[in-house]
Chains A and B, each alone.
Chain A
Amino acid sequence: MVSTEALLQHLVSGLTVGSIYAATALGLTIVYGLLKVLHIAHAAVYVIGGYAAYIAYTSTGSIVLAVAAAAVVPAVAGVVLARILYMPMLEKPRHIPLMLSIAAFLLIEELIANIFGHHPKGFHIEGVPTDPIDIGGITIRPSSLIVVPVTVLATIALWVAYNRTKMGIASQALVQDMEVAQALGVNMPFIVYVNFAIGSILAGIAGLLYAVHYGSISPYMGDVVAYKALVVIVLGGFGSIMGALVGGLILGVAEEVLTSYLGYILPREAYAFIVLILLLILRPQGLFGRAE
């Protein structure tokens, strides 16, 4: 029943969707490591990225400007959110910033829907081929060949930046102990904003990747990502960069496979949440994390 070809086919589509999950989860995981805030509004930043790219591309027709818009606008949005919502709430119980974040997410999502319309908008970038390629019986959409490598490269770049640059080391120091790091001269707010900016750029790029893969954007494209990115960072272990990549890819593939073999029990989206709850109860440190 399970043919190798079918399995490989699921693997390819799963990896593509999983890459988009991973790209959105990267920002979430570094922010969680720093502030211990579940930044649901990150999904709004992802939608903002998609729309910024759409507006830039439709008004100028330049791919470079579209990519730039998908990076700059979300970066600003992310830093503003951090400044307004999280920085004043660092001392509060952790569910307070979470509620703020959810409210901010719905607020931005609905504003975008009311301004740009509730329906999806077609967003095709010229020069990106859309005809599927056939390799040994497996059909691969050309967009997969963009989405997966971009995500993997972004993750590696982030990992290197985190472990090799001064800024990255300072971030890690803050993750370890906020007070001691500050006493040693780490400029906490600045490092936090840099992290938000970088995470948000990744979310914006993920928004653009979504458009490349599905050929459209929608104000509600963040709905699925908002909570699935949580599943990804729980899978990968909170705060782990490589964990977010692996977690995203695993979730994408697992959903693909589960839906095709058990699809009649529950719809695709439900599996992620069941996995989330089981993981939080049984292995809150993540699949690869060690118990504290």
Chain B
Amino acid sequence: MPISPGYLATLSTVVASYAIATLGLNITMGRAGQVNLGQAAFVGVGAMTSAILATRYDLPFWLCLPIAALISFAIGSLIGVVSIRLRHDFLAITTIGFNFIVIYVFLYYEVFGASYGIAGIPKPSIMGFKLRGFWYAGLSWAILGLAALLARYLDKSWMGIAFESIREDEEVSESIGISVRKFKILAFAVGAMYGGIAGSLLAHFKGYIVYSDFSFPYSIMILSMSIVGGIDTISGAIAGSLIVIMLPEIFRPLMEYRMVIYSALIILMLFLRPEGLLGRRSIVLEKVRAILVEGTRGES
């Protein structure tokens, strides 16, 4: 397997970007318990926003990214509003439907590049210095770092507690004064915003995007990252993205079977480790915790 610096830079950028998208899914689904099987659609919204702003209006990356985040946040809240009336499997198929509709809109309207896609999306630059290769990889990991910090901050705030509460029991949450509506909308909006940021990063990195980059199988890929890594933790999102991106790269002959691997991973994990490798209730962490607790408590 050839390992060139360019290849490493590409891989690490892709891993970081998808880790951000997965982090968003972990907030919506893992923390707040709102099933979202259409995360790729939000990645697409962010990517298209960024691409259009950069190629048609010549806006710099530093403006495109926040606007992409805002637009995805807005679209995410729309889905959040819809989610108020739906639960579990009905919500799940609604998000699938949303993913399909978004793809058809991208495919059907010239603004989104229709079937040709949008090319010539510029790389960001700082005072004339173009960020490419490892510089761009560094930038995406820095943004992942910021995204993780924000996720941690939100999780420790009132919002994190409310999310956990509506995940466990909506009626009880409502009765103790948590606005289930507000937090369901927020859960989708924040998760979508992360998706949008990931999309913007990917768009400026690849320079060319087309509607099919955000189709439903990509949602399943992001889902497999979440389920493999751990559905409710930050470390889980990063580990999941790393594992899922690297697997077909390490085993090159399996490239053709990528979707097979992702789906098999989902099935295996749901049966064997539903909390993921690094989820909050994961066996790996429990073992570590058990050893530490044993150590301090003695033989009690």
**In the complex, how many residues of chain B place their beta carbon closer than 8 angstroms to a beta carbon of chain A?**
38
Inter-chain contact B89/A94, CB cutoff 8 Å: yes
- Is there a chain A Cβ closer than 8 Å to B217's Cβ? yes
Interface residues of B in 22-53 (CB under 8 A from A): 35, 37
Inter-chain contact B100/A273, CB cutoff 8 Å: yes
- Is there a chain A Cβ closer than 8 Å to B146's Cβ? no
CA distance A36 to B92 in the complex (A): 14
Knowing A267-B104, A267-B107, the reply to whether A100 touches B257 (Cβ < 8 A) is: no
Partner pick for B92 among A95, A107, A114, A281, CB 8 A cutoff: A95
- Is there a chain B Cβ closer than 8 Å to A291's Cβ? no
Interface residues of B in 85-144 (CB under 8 A from A): 85-86, 88-94, 96-98, 100-101, 104-105, 107-108
Inter-chain contact B104/A269, CB cutoff 8 Å: yes
- Is there a chain A Cβ closer than 8 Å to B263's Cβ? yes
- Is there a chain A Cβ closer than 8 Å to B190's Cβ? no
Inter-chain contact A106/B93, CB cutoff 8 Å: no
Question: Which B residues are CB-close (under 8 A) to A96?
Answer: 270, 274
Inter-chain contact B100/A227, CB cutoff 8 Å: yes
Question: Which B residues are CB-close (under 8 A) to A230?
Answer: 93
**Chain B min CB distance to A243 (Å):** 17
- Is there a chain A Cβ closer than 8 Å to B259's Cβ? yes
Whose C-beta in chain B lies nearest to the C-beta of A273?
B97
Question: Which B residues are CB-close (under 8 A) to A104?
Answer: 263, 267
Inter-chain contact B108/A281, CB cutoff 8 Å: no
Inter-chain contact B101/A106, CB cutoff 8 Å: no
Inter-chain contact A276/B94, CB cutoff 8 Å: yes
CA distance A274 to B82 in the complex (A): 12
- Is there a chain B Cβ closer than 8 Å to A33's Cβ? no
Question: Which A residues are CB-close (under 8 A) to B82?
Answer: 277, 281
Whose C-beta in chain B lies nearest to the C-beta of A36?
B89
Question: Which A residues are CB-close (under 8 A) to B263?
Answer: 102-107, 110
CA distance A38 to B37 in the complex (A): 14
Knowing A94-B89, A98-B92, A267-B104, the reply to whether A106 touches B97 (Cβ < 8 A) is: no
- Is there a chain A Cβ closer than 8 Å to B260's Cβ? yes
Interface majority SS (helix, strand, loop, mixed), chain A: helix
Question: Which B residues are CB-close (under 8 A) to A94?
Answer: 88-89
Question: Which A residues are CB-close (under 8 A) to B86?
Answer: 280-281
CA distance A99 to B271 in the complex (A): 11
CA distance A104 to B88 in the complex (A): 19
Interface centre among B93, B107, B257 (most CB of A within 10 A): B93
**Chain B min CB distance to A143 (Å):** 27
Inter-chain contact B37/A114, CB cutoff 8 Å: no
Inter-chain contact B96/A227, CB cutoff 8 Å: yes
Per-residue CB contact flags for chain A residues 79-116 toward chain B (1 = under 8 Å, else 0) read 00000010010000111101110111111011100100
Inter-chain contact B104/A100, CB cutoff 8 Å: no
Inter-chain contact A106/B89, CB cutoff 8 Å: no
Chain B residues in contact with chain A, CB under 8 A? 35, 37, 82, 85-86, 88-94, 96-98, 100-101, 104-105, 107-108, 217, 220, 223-224, 227, 256-257, 259-260, 262-264, 266-267, 270-271, 274
A-B pairs with lowest CB-CB distance, top 3 = A273-B97, A107-B263, A103-B263
Known: A94-B88, A280-B94; 14 extra A-B contacts, CB below 8 A, are A95-B88, A96-B274, A98-B89, A103-B263, A103-B264, A103-B266, A106-B263, A114-B256, A114-B260, A266-B104, A270-B100, A273-B97, A273-B100, A274-B101
